[in-house]
Amino acid sequence: MTSELTFVRKTGADIAEVFDDLAKLRIAVFRDYPYLYEGSVEYELGYLKTYLQSERSFLFAVYDGDKMVGATTCIPLQDETAEVRKPFEDAGFDIGTICYFGESILLSAYRGHGLGHRFFDEREAHARNLGVFETCCFCSVDRGDNHPLKPSDYRPNDAFWLKRGYRKEPALQSTMEWPDLGETTSTPKTMIFWTKPLNH
């Protein structure tokens, strides 16, 4: 990893300015287990549209020269899509007090240098600065214990998330769809949420 990394922050519609870079990075990183995402720009456009329509959405990106090598996003939960809001609405949460954290993605060559913590720091700071959120959350895909494409050396991020103060909430689950590697049609995936109180 070079020492010439630069950092970019964007909010709302301005996130569109780095759309191409973000789409390429998401497609590259999410190909790996456990997401196994057969990415397409068309799918990415649909995903990004939600963030562009929210004035309070946020992106923090890391560049090495002119290449985006890492990125993370967050958005008020009430501005997210129905499948993301639903488990919280069904459980009786006030979704106006929750900030949803989207992806936290980093090319493998840049891992192990503290950027994962930086991503959470940036999102939590953004959520606090907005002054209305009591909780932050994110979700991760559940592939089960015996997926045939699970690498023998795979280590989930659970320990890292627990260290950050997040708690896994098996009762809060959603279903998202995307095409797996080698597939052309989207199939449903179980997503499990993690939450953390956001102390002001």
Q: Domain locations in the chain?
A: 5-197
| The residue type at 183 | E
Report H helices in the chain.
Answer: 19-29, 41-52, 82-90, 115-130, 158-163
**Mean pLDDT of the residues in the chain:** 94
Q: Exposure string (b/e) for 66-95, b if CB count within 10 Å is 16 or more?
A: eebbbbbbbbbbbbbeeebbbbbeeeebeb
Give the mean pLDDT of 1-9. Answer: 82
Determine the pLDDT at residue 86.
97
Share of the chain above pLDDT 90, in %: 90
Whether residue 81 has pLDDT greater than 60: yes
Determine the pLDDT at residue 3.
64
Both structure tokens of 77:
């939960």
Categorize the per-residue pLDDT at 199 as very low, low, confident or very high, splitting at 50, 70 and 90: confident
Give the mean pLDDT of 53-82. Answer: 97
Whether residue 5 has pLDDT greater than 70: yes
Both structure tokens of 56:
């309070």
- 5-197 to CATH, choices 3.40.630.30, 1.10.287.610, 3.10.20.30, 3.30.1360.20: 3.40.630.30
